[in-house]
């Protein structure tokens, strides 16, 4: 209810809505699990600054739902105790709760967005990815004010449909529709076909963004699905990454091992995969279980990898499905991964799913190996463009 929104803003900033905003939509433009979003226009004294110093007054105001913290703890109990952690992610409840606490605190989300903007400073200037500007003055655990992005999320663009699998001849009607309904469906189809031409570029941009987050910055958006990637109306060739409340980051001593693990999955190196997972295991596990686990991982690898980078049918390795099968084996054999590793693996699978939705033929494995090679060469080269040069050739 709007009364909750008004109360939350007053409690957070000590001012009424009309003291801060010239305009404020009573009805939210979007609503999720944690918060709802209102479109608003700031008074000039509260304006944000863009990357070129321009004033920004058009904003999105995220307001946390009432009692979301209490409900989150109830949901976590259900997930772990009632459903045995339905996501089949083998790590501890305490570590999961810690991660959720950050996600529902908008001060952390503001920090994450600022860090992403710093990490992607050069890429933002190049114009192929960006992140919303955040108000530091108007910020509280329950309220976040950020620049408004004129555009649509990837999921909104496709209205839940994947243009890659859509009938090329257009909509076929099995029941009688009005002329207006027919025209609306045909118009939507034409828009989908127009966007389809850009999907390959978006897939590559999302891959490059993820590769940099994982393999260079070690600071990763943990919830990069189609609802959290926007296409700007002003620049449809680029993407805007939003909702950065959930992030994951590996401990420094684990990064080389994790990278070796990813490479081993791409190559189908059973020994490297099993040894690394046993190292990542935090739970006392019987030797017999570990022995059986190694055997089963061997079978899993054969199912998903036929030769380095390819599945048994000669297609690119399906990393997401491969990871899901590996996580199930870990849980089945009574093991528990470090939380940073577990969340990184889940995030890796999630981002690959989005990329494959946009471009089913996109080879994430080949791209990952190219990025690792390029980054290693860059560490020993004077030119900072080594990564970009190799990726452009690829």
Least confident of 5-19, 127-141, 191-205: 191-205
- pLDDT value for 158: 73
Across all residues in the chain, what is the average pLDDT?
A: 82
Q: Does residue 165 carry a pLDDT above 60?
A: no
Q: What is the full DSSP assignment across 372-388?
A: HHHHHHHHT-S-TTHHH
Q: Does residue 83 carry a pLDDT above 90?
A: no
Q: Does residue 85 carry a pLDDT above 60?
A: no
Residues near 365 by Cβ (< 8 Å), separated by ≥ 6?
A: 266, 309, 316, 317, 319
pLDDT band for position 176 (cuts 50, 70, 90) = low
Q: Does residue 21 carry a pLDDT above 90?
A: yes
- pLDDT value for 124: 94
Q: Which residues pair with 30 in a beta bridge?
A: 37
Taking residues 79-100, what's their average pLDDT?
51
- pLDDT value for 179: 63
User: Which one, of 268, 361, 260, lies nearest residue 308 by Cα?
Assistant: 268
Parallel, antiparallel or unpaired: strands 134-140 and 143-147: antiparallel
Q: Does residue 383 carry a pLDDT above 50?
A: no
Q: Does residue 161 carry a pLDDT above 70?
A: no
- pLDDT value for 15: 96
Q: Is residue 20 within 8 Å of 9, Cβ to Cβ?
A: yes
Q: Does residue 100 carry a pLDDT above 70?
A: no
Round to whole Å and give the CA distance between 341 and 338.
5
Taking residues 76-105, what's their average pLDDT?
53
Taking residues 89-110, what's their average pLDDT?
69
Q: Does residue 74 carry a pLDDT above 70?
A: no
* Percent of the residues in the chain that have a pLDDT greater than 90, as a whole number: 45
Query: What 8-state DSSP symbol labels residue 310?
Result: B
Q: Does residue 266 carry a pLDDT above 70?
A: yes
Least confident of 22-36, 178-192, 288-302: 178-192
| Comparison of pLDDT for 220 and 66, the residue scoring more | 220
Q: Does residue 82 carry a pLDDT above 50?
A: no
Taking residues 52-69, what's their average pLDDT?
89
pLDDT band for position 86 (cuts 50, 70, 90) = very low
- pLDDT value for 177: 63
Round to whole Å and give the CA distance between 303 and 325.
10
User: pTM value?
Assistant: 0.81
For tokens 């449909």, the residue is 161
Round to whole Å and give the CA distance between 32 and 220.
21
- pLDDT value for 286: 81
Q: What is the full DSSP assignment across 85-119?
A: -TT---S-HHHHHHHHHHHT-HHHHHHHHHHHHHH
| Comparison of pLDDT for 292 and 191, the residue scoring more | 292
pLDDT band for position 106 (cuts 50, 70, 90) = very high
pLDDT band for position 76 (cuts 50, 70, 90) = very low
| Comparison of pLDDT for 187 and 370, the residue scoring more | 370
Least confident of 42-46, 78-82, 253-257, 298-302: 78-82
- pLDDT value for 211: 92
Q: Is residue 354 within 8 Å of 381, Cβ to Cβ?
A: no
- pLDDT value for 144: 97
Q: What stretch of H or E contains 341?
A: helix 339-358
Residues near 374 by Cβ (< 8 Å), separated by ≥ 6?
A: 386, 387, 389, 390, 391
| Per-residue pLDDT tens over the stretch 346-361 | 889 889 989 998 898 8
pLDDT band for position 228 (cuts 50, 70, 90) = very high
């Amino acid at each position: 209810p709007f009364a909750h929104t008004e109360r939350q803003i007053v409690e957070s900033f000590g001012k009424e809505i009309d003291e801060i905003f010239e305009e404020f939509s009573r009805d939210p433009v979007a609503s999720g699990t944690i918060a709802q979003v209102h479109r608003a226009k700031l008074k000039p004294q509260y304006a944000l600054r863009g990357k070129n110093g321009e004033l920004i007054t058009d904003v999105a105001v995220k307001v946390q739902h009432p009692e979301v913290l209490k409900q989150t703890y109830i949901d976590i109990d259900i997930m772990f105790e009632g459903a045995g952690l339905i996501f089949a992610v083998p790590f501890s409840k305490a570590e999961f709760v810690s991660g959720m606490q950050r996600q529902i605190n908008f001060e952390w989300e503001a920090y994450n967005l600022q860090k992403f903007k710093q990490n992607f400073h050069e890429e933002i200037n190049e114009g192929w990815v960006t992140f919303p500007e955040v108000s530091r003055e108007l910020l509280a655990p329950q309220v976040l004010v950020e620049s408004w992005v004129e555009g649509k999320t990837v999921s909104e663009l496709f209205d839940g449909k994947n243009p890659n699998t859509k009938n090329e001849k257009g909509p076929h009607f099995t029941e009688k529709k009005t002329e207006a309904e027919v025209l609306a469906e045909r118009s939507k189809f034409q828009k989908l076909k127009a966007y389809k031409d850009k999907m390959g570029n978006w897939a590559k941009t999302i891959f490059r963004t993820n590769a940099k987050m994982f393999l260079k910055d070690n600071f990763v958006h943990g919830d990069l699905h189609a609802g959290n990637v926007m296409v700007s109306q002003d620049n449809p060739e680029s993407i805007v990454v939003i909702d950065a409340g959930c992030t994951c980051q590996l401990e420094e001593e684990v990064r080389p091992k994790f990278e070796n693990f990813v490479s081993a999955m791409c190559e189908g190196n059973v020994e490297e995969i099993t040894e690394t997972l046993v190292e990542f295991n935090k739970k006392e596990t019987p030797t017999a279980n570990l022995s059986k686990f190694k055997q089963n991982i061997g079978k899993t690898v054969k199912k998903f990898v036929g030769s380095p980078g390819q599945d048994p049918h000669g297609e690119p390795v399906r990393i997401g499905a491969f990871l899901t099968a590996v996580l199930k084996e870990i849980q089945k054999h009574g093991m528990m991964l470090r939380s940073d590793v577990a969340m990184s693996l889940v995030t890796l699978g999630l981002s690959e799913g989005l990329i494959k939705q946009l471009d089913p033929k996109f080879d994430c494995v080949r791209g990952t190996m190219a990025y690792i090679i390029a980054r290693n060469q860059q560490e020993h080269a004077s030119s900072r463009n080594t990564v970009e040069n190799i990726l452009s050739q690829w």
